[in-house]
Chains A and B, each alone.
Chain A
Amino acid sequence: MSPRADAPARPAARIRRFSRAERWIHRTTAALMGVCVVTAAVLYIPQLAVLVGRRALVVRVHECAGLALPVPVLLGLASRAFRADLRFLNRFGPHDKVWLRAALLRDRRRAARPAGKFNAGQKVYAAWIAGATLVMLGTGLLMWFTHLAPLVWRTSATFVHDWLALTIAVVLAGHIGMALGDPEARKGLRTGTVSQEWARQRHPLWRPRP
Chain B
Amino acid sequence: MNPEPPEERDGTPVGRRVFLGTLGLGALGVLAAPTLQRAMEGLTSKDPTGLTGLLPNGGGFRYYSVAASVPAKNATDYRLTVGGLVDRPRAYDLAELRDLPQTRLVRDVQCVTGWRVPGTPFEGVRLADLLDAAGVRRTAKAIRFTCFDGTYTESLTLDQARRPDVLVALRMQDKGIGHDHGGPVRLYVAPMYFYKSAKWLSGITVTDRVEPGYWENLGYDVDAWVGRSNGRTDEPTS
A residues contacting B by CB (< 8 A) are: 1, 46, 49-50, 53-57, 87-96, 116-117, 123-124, 126-128, 130-132, 134-135, 138-139, 142, 146-147, 150-160, 162-166, 205-210
Contacts of A127 in B (CB 8 A): 14-19, 22
Contact in complex: B232, A152 (CB < 8 Å): yes
**Main secondary structure on chain A at its contact with chain B?**
helix
Q: How many A-B residue pairs have CB under 8 A?
A: 166
Q: Does B91 contact A (CB under 8 A)?
A: no
Identify the closest chain B residue to A154 (Cβ).
B219
Residues in B neighbouring A138, C-beta threshold 8 A: 26-27
Contact, CB under 8 Å: A162 / B62: no
Q: Is the CB of A205 within 8 A of B33?
A: no
- The tally of residues in B whose CB lies under 8 Å from a CB in A reads 56
Of B5-13, B78-86, B122-130, which stretch is located at the interface? B5-13
Which of the residues A92, A132, A163 comes within 8 Å of B11, measured between beta carbons? A92
Contact flag A117-B30 (CB < 8 Å), given A131-B18, A134-B23: no
Tell me if B23 and A135 are in contact (CB < 8 A): yes
Apart from A54-B68, A92-B15: 19 A-B pairs, beta carbons within 8 A = A46-B62, A50-B63, A55-B64, A93-B12, A94-B11, A117-B8, A127-B17, A127-B19, A135-B23, A146-B219, A155-B34, A155-B37, A155-B231, A156-B29, A156-B31, A160-B33, A163-B29, A163-B56, A164-B29
One digit per residue, 1 when the CB lies within 8 angstroms of any chain A CB and 0 when it does not, for chain B 26-45 equals 11011101101100000000
Considering the complex, give the chain A residue whose CB is closest to the CB of B231: A152
A153 contacts across to B, CB distance below 8 A: 30
B11 & A128 in contact (Cβ 8 Å cutoff): no
| CB nearest to B30 among chain A residues | A156
Does A155 contact B219, Cβ atoms closer than 8 Å?
no
